[in-house]
Amino acid sequence: MRKNILITGASSGLGEGMAREFAAKGCNLALCARRLEPMQSLKAELEAANPGIKVFIRELDVCDYPQVFEVFKAFREDLGSLDRVIVNAGMGKGASFGTGYFEANRKTAETNFVGALAQCEAALEIFRAQNSGHLVTISSISAVRGMPRAINIYAATKAGLRTMTEGIRADLLGTPIKASCILPGFILTPINSDLKKAPMRVDLKTGCKALVKAIEREPAEAKVPAWPWVPVALAMKYLPLSVVAKMT
């Protein structure tokens, strides 16, 4: 069992939901995000509900790259080791290209891809030293195809993260270190709550239960929830772009 789990972006959404699910399984948690106050409440809640676990929290902006390495190392010292790191922190701001929102698109690109790169580097430094560990990156079903308007840059970063994770997995072949890329479908979180179209969206608890179940299998890649997103993702690869664009 992977006992000590680090989750970034843990102040809300999928990070918070996964923390609850792993805590209920008896896992010790290292939680970090930009906002400390929500994690303080979450830590108190989880430790009260699961008295046998340890929960450590730290403030972290994943675009402060030196801080990423410092926080991950500090969590390793807190827990003695890190068994699994879930690269979850991200954002979804953006707009159609050429409409005056370069800064929003740039910030999403930097957070979701370069920030994820820093997290993967920091995690794998620890895993290589331990000669064990499980790296999990949270991508998105939107990574399967290019998406229009506000989701364009978000989908592009998630596609990049998916490819980067596959490259990491190739680099780790034959070692005890594992890497998984998880592609959630529409799960209700603050990042997507304003989407006008979110077909087959599930609530946060249902989605996070499915995420944790998939993560614990340690697959190379998983679409979550498997139904309907495995067939939907397959269809998205071959449908005309005009049809895919109407899904958002």
Residues designated as active site: 154
Buried b (16+ CB within 10 A) or exposed e, 38-55: ebeebbeebeeebeebbb
For 141, what's the count of Cα atoms within 13 Å in the CB-facing half-sphere? 25
Q: How far apart are CA 210 and CA 2, in angstroms?
A: 17
Handedness of CA 111, 163, 58, 219 (dihedral sign): positive
Residues in CB range of 37: below 8 A, 6 or more apart: none
Q: How far apart are CA 49 and CA 139, in angstroms?
A: 30
Q: How far apart are CA 151 and CA 39, in angstroms?
A: 28
Helix or strand (DSSP H, E) at 71:
helix 65-79
Bridge partners of 127? none
Q: How far apart are CA 164 and CA 71, in angstroms?
A: 22
As a dihedral over the C-alpha atoms of residue 137, residue 138, residue 142, residue 144, rounded to 10 degrees, the angle is 30
